[in-house]
Structure 1
Amino acid sequence: MAASALGTPYWLRVCREKGFLAPDIHKAGGTAVKVGSVPFVAASILALGIAGEARPVVAAVSIAALVGIVDDLAGLWNLEKIAIPALVMSVIPAGGREVLGVPVPAPLWGAIFGTFVVNASNTLAGFNGLEAGCFSIASAFLAVQSAISGDLDGSLAYLALVGACAPFLAVNWYPARAFPGNCGTFFMGASLAAVSMSRGMDWPLLILYVPHGLDFALKLLGWGKAKKKG
Structure 2
Amino acid sequence: MAQEAALRPRYLPKALLYALVPTACWFLLRPLLDPAPPLPALHASLGFSLLALLGSLYLVPALGQTFIRANLKGRDLLKTYDTPIPESQGLICASIYIILLILFIPYSFSESFTTHYDSARRAREGIVVDEFPHHQLAVYLSSLLSLLMATMLGFLDDVFDIRWRHKLPIPIIASIPLLIVYYSERGATDVVVPLPLRWLFGTLLHLGPLYYVYMSLLSTFCTNSINILAGINGSEVSQAVIIASSIILNDLLFLPWPFGFRIALPLHVTDGLKVGGMWSAGMAYGSRVLVERHLFSLYLMLPLLGVCLGFMYHNWYPARAFPGDTLCYVTGMAFAVVGIQAHYSKTLLLFFLPQIFNFVLSCPQLFGLVPCPRHRVPRYDAETQLLYPSKAEFKEKRPSKLATLVLRLFSALGLVELAIDVKTGEIESSTNLTILNVFLLRLGPMREDGLTRVLIATQVCGSLLAFFIRYGLAGLVYDGNRR
Q: Same fold by TM (over 0.5)?
A: yes
Equivalent runs, 1:100-119 vs 2, <5 Å: 101=205, 103-105=207-209, 106-119=211-224
| Cα deviation, residue 189, structure 1 | 0.8
The unaligned stretches of length 5 or more in structure 1 are none
The one of 83, 86, 96 equivalent to 2:172 is 86
| Cα deviation, residue 77, structure 1 | 3.4
Indicate the structure with greater helix content. 1
Judged with a 3 Å threshold, the aligned counterparts in structure 2 of structure 1 residues 217 and 72 are, in CA distance, closer, same or farther, namely same
Judged with a 3 Å threshold, the aligned counterparts in structure 2 of structure 1 residues 220 and 174 are, in CA distance, closer, same or farther, namely same
- Name the amino acid aligned to 1:206: L
Larger Rg: 2
- Name the amino acid aligned to 2:330: F
Rounded to whole Å, the distance in 2 between the matches of 1:5 and 1:63 is 24
Rounded to whole Å, the distance in 2 between the matches of 1:65 and 1:9 is 20
Indicate if the aligned counterparts of 2:88 and 2:326 stay in contact, CA closer than 8 A: yes
Indicate if the aligned counterparts of 1:146 and 1:154 stay in contact, CA closer than 8 A: yes
| Cα deviation, residue 90, structure 1 | 3.6
Indicate if the aligned counterparts of 1:98 and 1:104 stay in contact, CA closer than 8 A: no
Rounded to whole Å, the distance in 2 between the matches of 1:17 and 1:87 is 31
Match of 1:143 in 2: 248
Rounded to whole Å, the distance in 2 between the matches of 1:99 and 1:27 is 50
The one of 354, 363, 371 equivalent to 1:224 is 371
Judged with a 3 Å threshold, the aligned counterparts in structure 2 of structure 1 residues 203 and 17 are, in CA distance, closer, same or farther, namely same
| Cα deviation, residue 62, structure 1 | 1.2
| Cα deviation, residue 166, structure 1 | 1.6
* CA shift digits 1:6-52 (9 cap, x unpaired): 32122213123444321112221244211122211111112333264
Classify the secondary structure of the residue corresponding to 1:179: coil
Indicate if the aligned counterparts of 1:8 and 1:168 stay in contact, CA closer than 8 A: yes
Indicate if the aligned counterparts of 1:143 and 1:156 stay in contact, CA closer than 8 A: no
Match of 1:123 in 2: 228
Rounded to whole Å, the distance in 1 between the matches of 2:245 and 2:66 is 31
Match of 1:33 in 2: 86
Indicate if the aligned counterparts of 1:139 and 1:162 stay in contact, CA closer than 8 A: yes
Indicate if the aligned counterparts of 1:144 and 1:155 stay in contact, CA closer than 8 A: no
Indicate if the aligned counterparts of 1:90 and 1:108 stay in contact, CA closer than 8 A: no
TM-score with structure 2 setting the length: 0.45
Indicate if the aligned counterparts of 2:240 and 2:331 stay in contact, CA closer than 8 A: yes
Indicate if the aligned counterparts of 1:114 and 1:190 stay in contact, CA closer than 8 A: yes
Judged with a 3 Å threshold, the aligned counterparts in structure 2 of structure 1 residues 206 and 126 are, in CA distance, closer, same or farther, namely same
Judged with a 3 Å threshold, the aligned counterparts in structure 2 of structure 1 residues 79 and 25 are, in CA distance, closer, same or farther, namely closer
The one of 299, 305, 310 equivalent to 1:167 is 310
Rounded to whole Å, the distance in 1 between the matches of 2:147 and 2:190 is 21
Rounded to whole Å, the distance in 1 between the matches of 2:220 and 2:162 is 15
Rounded to whole Å, the distance in 2 between the matches of 1:7 and 1:26 is 26
- Name the amino acid aligned to 1:224: P
Aligned-CA RMSD value? 2.2
Percent of aligned pairs sharing the same letter? 23
Rounded to whole Å, the distance in 1 between the matches of 2:347 and 2:100 is 22
Rounded to whole Å, the distance in 1 between the matches of 2:72 and 2:177 is 34
| Cα deviation, residue 130, structure 1 | 0.8
- Name the amino acid aligned to 1:194: V
Match of 2:271 in 1: none
Indicate if the aligned counterparts of 1:90 and 1:110 stay in contact, CA closer than 8 A: no
* CA shift digits 1:79-114 (9 cap, x unpaired): 331223113214314433528645254532321111
The unaligned stretches of length 5 or more in structure 2 are 1-51, 109-138, 194-204, 256-293, 373-391, 395-427, 430-483
Equivalent runs, 1:36-47 vs 2, <5 Å: 36-47=89-100
Rounded to whole Å, the distance in 2 between the matches of 1:15 and 1:183 is 14
Asked whether 1:59 is paired with 2:145, we answer yes
Match of 1:13 in 2: 65
Judged with a 3 Å threshold, the aligned counterparts in structure 2 of structure 1 residues 122 and 102 are, in CA distance, closer, same or farther, namely farther
Match of 2:339 in 1: 196
| Cα deviation, residue 178, structure 1 | 1.0
TM-score with structure 1 setting the length: 0.89
Asked whether 1:24 is paired with 2:76, we answer yes
The answer to which structure, 1 or 2, has the higher relative contact order (CA under 8 A, 6+ apart) is 1
The one of 310, 314, 321 equivalent to 1:178 is 321
Indicate if the aligned counterparts of 2:91 and 2:327 stay in contact, CA closer than 8 A: yes
Judged with a 3 Å threshold, the aligned counterparts in structure 2 of structure 1 residues 146 and 213 are, in CA distance, closer, same or farther, namely same
Classify the secondary structure of the residue corresponding to 1:98: strand
Rounded to whole Å, the distance in 2 between the matches of 1:80 and 1:16 is 27
Rounded to whole Å, the distance in 2 between the matches of 1:80 and 1:185 is 16
Indicate if the aligned counterparts of 1:196 and 1:202 stay in contact, CA closer than 8 A: yes
Farther off after superposition, 130-139 or 46-55: 46-55
Rounded to whole Å, the distance in 2 between the matches of 1:184 and 1:20 is 14
